[in-house]
Amino acid sequence: MRNRSSATTPLLASEQFASDAATASQSKEPALAAAFSRVRAHAVRIFERSVALVAFLLLWELLPRVGIVSSAYLSPPSAVVVAIGHLFDSGEVWKHLGSSAFRSITGLLLAVGAGIIGGFLLGWFRRAERIADPLYQLLRQVSAFALFPVFMLFLGIGESSKIAIIVWAAFWPVLLNTISGVKQVERIFIDCARSMGATQGFIFTKVILPAALPQILTGIRLAGAYSITALVAAEMIGARSGLGFYTLNSQETFQIPDMYAGIVLLALFGLLINYGLSLLERKLLRWRVGIAQNG
């Protein structure tokens, strides 16, 4: 009996070990499946976001290579990348990028400041909005490019006229979105704050500003895009530096790869500004993300 018991004990231990191993492997299978599903979903998202861009670049490369479009008019992306590399190697890119960044960011900041102040005044004081509405509805139809001769006449061909055209283009989306955001604040929120003895400053900072902020930030992102568009036009007249000047000068000297290099750098610069504004929007509107997740 003692020998039989001692022989049975290792058998039971081995069975218990095999059972524990099977249980552990079964518990790992759902975790591995979930990890694989996440990796697959991430790969699908990357593919979906890049397939159009890759197809565009391939088509762009093939058209001049196979002779469908002359390379004298359309440089392939490989040649454009080489031209961008030369710009960075020579250090010339920093001069043009610095000039463009100064003009666009200065104009954007001035437009945002003026647009937010004017938008709050016109959105909060309804009589002022009714009086000013015909005027700003008329003025916002005037293109910044049409006013460029006027800016040059009053401000000269220096930096002031270039910044002014950017301010004019970027001002209107901020102003109109701020007015709309302030006017859409629920009146009941303001009345509740007043009934509890809140001051005008508290109502503005804790009720009106947070409620209008989403639309204000939308206007600022639109203004960022408009500032790049106006920057290109501003730098093509009377400038000696900047990405817009570099692009036009390359076209005039028939340096076509350099021209496309300037265009690509302008696009990347605009994308960088939009990304920065998007990060600012997410940081300032974290409370909206929390509400969406809770909902």
Type of residue found at 39: V
How far, in Å, are 145, 202, 245, 247 from residue 240 at the CA level?
19, 48, 7, 12
Q: What DSSP line would sit under 21-33, residue for residue? A: HHHHHHHHHHHHH
Domain map (residue ranges) of the chain: 1-74, 77-294
Q: Which residues of 207-232 are buried (b: 16+ CB within 10 A; e: fewer)?
A: bbbebbbebbbbbbbbbbbbbbbbbb
Give the pLDDT confidence score for residue 107 in this predicted structure: 94
Kindly tell me the sign of the dihedral angle through the C-alpha atoms of 164, 169, 175, 181: negative
State CA 52 to chain mean position distance: 19
Give the pLDDT confidence score for residue 188 in this predicted structure: 81
How many CA atoms does the CB half-sphere of 194 hold within 13 Å? 8
Query: Which tokens hold the place of 115?
Result: 């647009």
Tens of pLDDT, residue by residue, the chain (295 residues): 444 445 455 544 555 545 554 554 555 566 677 777 777 777 888 877 888 888 998 998 898 888 888 888 889 999 999 999 999 999 889 999 999 999 999 999 999 999 999 999 888 888 888 888 888 889 888 888 888 888 888 888 888 889 999 999 999 999 999 998 888 887 787 778 778 877 777 777 788 888 888 899 999 999 999 999 898 888 877 788 889 899 989 988 889 999 999 999 999 999 999 999 888 888 888 766 544 444 4
Quote the CA–CA distance of 204 and 215 in Å, as a whole number.
16
Type of residue found at 115: G
| 3-class SS shares of the chain: helix, strand, coil, % to 5 | 85, 0, 15
Q: Which CATH topology does 77-294 take?
A: MetI-like fold (1.10.3720)
Give the pLDDT confidence score for residue 11 in this predicted structure: 45
Quote the CA–CA distance of 103 and 238 in Å, as a whole number.
14
What is this structure's pTM?
A: 0.78
